[in-house]
Structure formats: structure tokens, C-alpha cells
Amino acid sequence: MNLVIVESPTKSKTISRFLGKNYKVLASFGHIRDLPKRELGVDIEKNFEPKYVIPPNSRKTISELKKEAAKAENTILATDEDREGESIAWHLAQALGLGNFQIRNPKPETIRQPADKIQNSKPYQRIVFHEITKEAIQEALKNPRDIDMNLVDAQQARRILDRIVGYKLSPFLWKKISKGLSAGRVQSVAVRLVVEREREIEKFVPIEYWNVEALLKKADKEFSTSLSKKDGKSIDKLEVKNKTEADKILSDLNGAEYIVENIEKKETKKYPAPPFTTSTLQQVSWQRFRFSAKMTMSIAQKLYEEGRITYHRTDSLNLSESSLTSAKKIISEKFGNNHWAGHFVRYKTKSKSAQEAHEAIRPTDADKTPKSLKNIDQRQLKLYTLIWQRFIASQMAPAIFDSVAADIKAGKYTFRASGQTLKFDGFLKAYPIKIQEKELPKLERNDQLGLVKLDPLQHFTEPPARYNDASLIKTLEKYGIGRPSTYAPTLATIQTRNYVEKNEQKRFAPTEIGTVVNDVLVQNFPEIVDIDFTAKMEKELDEVAGGKDSWQKTCGDFWKPFSKNLEEKYEKVQKADLIQKTDKICPKCGAPIIERFGRFGKFYACSKFPECKYTESIENKNKNLGIICPKCKEGELVIRKTKRGKIFYGCNRFPKCNFALWDKPVNEFCQKCESILIEKGKKIVCSNKECDYEEQNTKANKKKL
């Protein structure tokens, strides 16, 4: 009997289908060893030697795996092919007492011993694959290898660096700000990006500018044009500063003739996007479905484990020859030969650190179209459809448009009209995206056009938008902060720790405590939250993974200046003065009430703490909806959050009144049952599930317009 060990039960079930009776597939349920929870677990004086322990929830699993490994003729470690998966395989070898790599007729240089000081132990095999298919599993079994200790070292370095930052810096924040706070090497940079964007928005001063549009017509066909030139020189976007200047242009145009001066006709092509990487999948999944990065990765994990897609943690754009051949066949059969690109399209990633041995995210079997899948969760179907369409489209011909641009002379001014119509759909047949078509009437040079109306339009420059899941991941990737496996957990962590929160538009805004923590870190530990420094650390980890540097040196290079600075800051930095007096009196002891900062923001507390431990929540005025609680008739409804950061609406007299809603309430009551009404997209409906009352949400429609 051969024992195969993977990370998850779902993956083990899928792989079991492809192997015979001589194989038993079991799951380790992720990592089976880690650094201890309640201590640093790294001996800095002994060259950063880690102390690994088996967590209580893994002990039963390890016991079972040991029994099965003892009975097995051969143990095969089949964890994921990235650093994390390689590390899990190494920890399994350590915990199960596995020794030398087993291979037929091995070359001397291939024999390595991953488990230090393990003697007379059973051999193992390490196999990797980027897709869970019968062919991929069988091919991997034919080509076992040793554990790649360079990848293990890189993962170990990352883990130790993150542990040092967390365990050494967090106590500093407790002492100088408030207990319960924490810092992280990557998430602190993400918080800094959100805080700095918020300050850009706060400092932003809108600039007024105007544009003049002319609605013209030829025969009965009307079309819009925009002012582009004056005296043959292009007009800058902000050049027309106010209504007076706009009115002057209108006055100059009084009685002008509108004559076609020039026409440009050309054929333009729009090429398909490359197949997905982890980052682009998370971004498009957010844009299309509003799936958070964490949710996207959770769904993709299930699709991968069920053998539907290739490995979903990748920054490579490579595609296998077999997948390219398969795509060509499907395109020819479903859409016609003219929709295929005419050659295999190969994409190259811009990232120098991309693992080119991996593939982009694609279906394992492209013949399995989204419509052919049965008994599949709807969210999985949405994501699979997106991946399938993007992969197929990447090998298709470009979409072709007929583009027309016309310059229309009116006195000393020139107006510009642009139009485009779809000539050939190309890849859009498989991967639909929004394309704006605009058809102009047939124009010829010297055509005299009729003026329907002139519109002076006032505009104001807008501040930069707050980050959402897609734009924050794109920015992290742009600066080289983190890697495919870290984007989703980073975004989840900064929300769980209450450093940032999502507003009603699902965009990130810093919390009060997040801003305070960021400012302390920026002022005193600039290297921790410095974008370039963090990106440099990622490159050093890549060098460790490539065998070009040692993990101990990487940790040492970071620790020496960091520890020296930390020691100095403990002495120099005073505790942040975040206490504010109020005119409230403690109902327990009669002492004055003050405002304190905690992990979840400001709260009221007795000034005699710790003798008196009275506390009370502060309801932010911006969070008060001004709606009387329909249950107790005394309190008001406010925006609240669960411990996991999910927004709900409840009475401010909680716990005396426990009224709560998940959907945003409206200050109106149902005409049928008198329950409070709530917003549901484009409709206002009754909060009573047994009542079918609904009406149009005019507020939502106004926003849309």
C-alpha cells in the first residue's frame, strides 16, 4: 500500500478517484506544525532557530498519519507546488520521521535528507502537479523528486520575519497606544496605503472647469461633439475655468457655421486580456461579482481541489501546449475558425519574480464548458465561467472596430466628434465586456451641419477614489508587496484587526485606531511601513527561494537595525495622549468619564480605572440614522459592526433593546403591516419576511442617474 498525503479532504477525495486500490489518500488539514502561539518561538541568539510545535488540533491527524505511514510501503507527499505547500511537505517529513528521498537508480546529488538528524527512517517521495487530473497525477508519480529546501527556507524566513515583527512590535504598540493592538510586515504597509489615500481625499480641493458640447445634425441624424481647439490649438481640460469664460465661447459662436473640416477613418483592434493570475482573478472577480479577495480564493480553492481548474496561486501567464491545442479546438468548433487567433498566443508576465514553471489559472479540461457542469454551487459556477471564458478568449482573434473621428470648424473654434462600431466580435464572442458603440452619420469634408443646441457644462475635478479590493490588490502587486498567496489574507487581516473598514460603497477607509497605529509606525519604524523596503524584502525572499541567499542572513540583515531602533524607541517615545475629558459622570462610582482608545476605536471609560471598570460604547454621530427604534420606541437605530466587521443596523440602547437588521432601514413604515421598511437594491421592501409589500427605491435610482 502507498500512502499519499495532501492538505485537504476535498483534494484527497478527488485524487482518490484517479488512483488504484494500492493507494490510500489522506489529508493533513493544512500545516501540522507551526511556531507556538504564546511565545516568540524563535531563538534569535542561535541564528534564528525556530521552535516548531504540533498544535492541539493537529495531534490526532499526526497520530493517524504516523500509523498509516508505518504500514505503507511508500509515503508520497503531494502538497501544493508553492512555498507553503513545500513547507507543509517538509514539516510532514519531520513529524512522521521520513528520511531519504526514494527514487529508482538515484544520482548521488539527488539524495538529500530534509529531516535533520533523522536516521534509519522510512524513505518518502515528493510529487507536484499544477492541476488535479488523472494525467497530471500519473505523470507526477512517474517523476518524484526531493523536497525543495530552497522553497522551504524562503517560507521559513517569511514566517520568522513576520513573527519577529508581530511579537516585538505589538508590545510596543500596547505600551505606547493601547492593549490588543498588533503590527505586521505586509499588512502595516496596506494600512498605510489606505490612510494616505484618505488624507489625499481630505486635502483635496476641487477645481472648477467647463466644457462646451454642441449637438449637431446632418439630415435627421443628430450627434454630439465636444469643443477641442481654439485657433488651431488644443484646449486643455482645465483651460475654461468658469461660467464667464464658457459664456464668452458661446457668444463667439453666435451665428457660426459648422463645417466638417477633416475626417479620419480607420480600423482599430482590441486584443483579449491574458489568462488569469491570482491578482487579476481577484480584481475581476470583485469588479464582476463583488466577491472579496478572501471569498474568491476560497471558491477557487474548492474548484482546484475538485479538479476543475489549475493551481490558483500563481503569478505566471504560461499555458501548456496541450491547453493551447484544446483551446484552438474549442474555438474552431464553437465559434468558427475565423475566431481563433491563427497561432498560439503566449503571454509573458512583467514581474521578474514570477514563477514561470507554473501556469496561469485555466480550466483543467476546457471541454467542460460552464453549461455542461451539473451539481455545482452557484458561486463556483460564476467563477469557473469567468476563468473558462478568459482562458478561451486569450487564444481568440481581436475584436475589430470601424472608428471615425471628425473635426468640425465653427469660427475660430473646432469641435470633435468620435464614433466606433463593431465590425468583427472576435474574442468578445467568448468573453463579453462592455463596449460603447457610437455611430455617426455619413460625413464628408465641407459638409455644412445644423446646430441643434450648445451646452456649457460645469465640472469639478474629483479626489482619488478610496481603494476597493481590486484596486488595493493591484497597488500591492504594482509595488511588489506580497505574493499571490498573501493578497487575500492581508486584506482580511487589516479588517479583522479593525484598522480599516468598508463603507457602504464597499471601499476601504481607515478607522481612528488604524490611523493612530499607522502614524506611530510611520514616525518611529519607517522601514516597517516603507513600500520600497517591503518590496525589497520580497525580492530577498525570492533570492532565498532561488538558492542565491540564506534565510538566516536575510533574517539577520533585518533584525540588527530593527532591534536597535526598537530599543531606542522604547526609551524616547512617550505614550500617545489619546485620553479626552468629557462632562459625563460614571454611574457606578461618580468619577468623571473619559474617552479612551481601544482596539475597536474610542469608548467611554471611568477615569478611576482599574479601580472602577465601567465602560460604555460611543455612538458616532455619522453612524446615527435618525430613525426611532420600532421595537422599544425609545432608542435610535445606528450602524453597528459584528466582531468580524460585518455591518448591521441596531438600537443604540443595546443590550436593553436587541432590535437589529442586516439591511439598511428606511425612516418609513409598511402600509400593510406597519413594520419598518428596508432598502433592497432598486426596491424598498418590508422587513417582515411574511409581508410582500414593496415599492420603487427612488433614492437608488437617483444615485444611478
The pLDDT tens digits for 466-491 are 999 999 999 998 888 888 888 899 99
At 622 the pLDDT is 46
Q: How far apart are CA 434 and CA 453, in angstroms?
A: 29
At 607 the pLDDT is 86
The domain over range 2-147 is classified in CATH as 1.10.10.10:
no
pTM of the model: 0.77
Average pLDDT over residues 512-530: 89
* pLDDT one-digit tens code per residue, 432-468: 998 889 999 999 999 999 999 999 999 999 999 999 9
The domain over range 156-204+465-572 is classified in CATH as 1.10.357.10:
no
Q: How far apart are CA 218 and CA 448, in angstroms?
A: 8
CB-CB neighbours of 510 under 10 Å = 24
Q: Using omega within 30 degrees of 0 as the cis cutoff, is the peptide bond preceding 655 cis?
A: yes
Average pLDDT over residues 24-29: 92
Instruction: Out of 381-395, 427-441, 594-608, pick the least confident.
Output: 594-608
Q: Catalytic residue at 167?
A: no
Instruction: Out of 143-152, 502-511, 681-690, pick the least confident.
Output: 681-690
Q: Using omega within 30 degrees of 0 as the cis cutoff, is the peptide bond preceding 610 cis?
A: yes
At 648 the pLDDT is 85
Please, what is the average pLDDT of the chain? 87
Domain residue ranges in the chain: 2-147, 156-204+465-572, 208-271+399-460, 278-393, 580-617
Taking each helix axis as running N to C, give the angle between helix 378-393 and helix 321-334, from 0 to 180 degrees, rounded to the nearest 10.
90
At 615 the pLDDT is 84
At 20 the pLDDT is 85
At 704 the pLDDT is 32
Residues 6+ apart with CB under 8 A from 531: 189, 192, 193, 479, 481
Per-residue pLDDT at 626 exceeds 50 = yes
The answer to whether residues 223 and 419 touch, using CB atoms and an 8 Å cutoff, is: yes
**Which of 23, 124, 258, 311 is labelled catalytic?**
311
* pLDDT one-digit tens code per residue, 219-265: 889 999 999 999 999 999 999 999 999 999 999 999 999 999 999 99
DSSP 8-state symbol, 306: T
Angle at alpha carbon of residue 143, lines to 140 and 149, rounded to 5°: 95
Pairing of strands 23-27, 2-6: parallel
Per-residue pLDDT at 380 exceeds 60 = yes
The answer to whether residues 124 and 144 touch, using CB atoms and an 8 Å cutoff, is: no
CA atoms within 13 A on the CB side of 566: 18
At 702 the pLDDT is 35
Beta bridge partners of 233: 230
Helix, strand, or coil (residue 159): helix
Average pLDDT over residues 88-100: 87
Q: Would you say the C-alpha torsion 477, 483, 488, 493 has a positive or negative sign?
A: negative
Q: What fold, for 278-393?
A: Topoisomerase I; domain 4 (1.10.290)
With a pLDDT cut of 90, the percent of the chain lying above it is 52
Radius of gyration for the alpha carbons in the chain, expressed in angstroms and rounded: 31
The answer to whether residues 306 and 18 touch, using CB atoms and an 8 Å cutoff, is: no
The DSSP-derived string for 675-702 is PEEEEETTEEEESSTT---EEE-HHHHH
The answer to whether residues 257 and 450 touch, using CB atoms and an 8 Å cutoff, is: no
Q: Which of 260, 222, 652 is nearest to 446 (CA)?
A: 260
Q: How far apart are CA 599 and CA 512, in angstroms?
A: 10
At 118 the pLDDT is 43
Helix, strand, or coil (residue 37): coil
Q: What fold, for 208-271+399-460?
A: Topoisomerase I; domain 3 (2.70.20)
The answer to whether residues 427 and 397 touch, using CB atoms and an 8 Å cutoff, is: yes
DSSP 8-state symbol, 94: H
Pairing of strands 98-101, 122-126: parallel
Backbone angles phi, psi at 90, to 5 degrees: -65, -45
The answer to whether residues 90 and 149 touch, using CB atoms and an 8 Å cutoff, is: yes
Average pLDDT over residues 308-315: 90
160 vs 38, 48, 540, 558, CA distance in Å?
15, 8, 14, 11
The answer to whether residues 145 and 121 touch, using CB atoms and an 8 Å cutoff, is: no
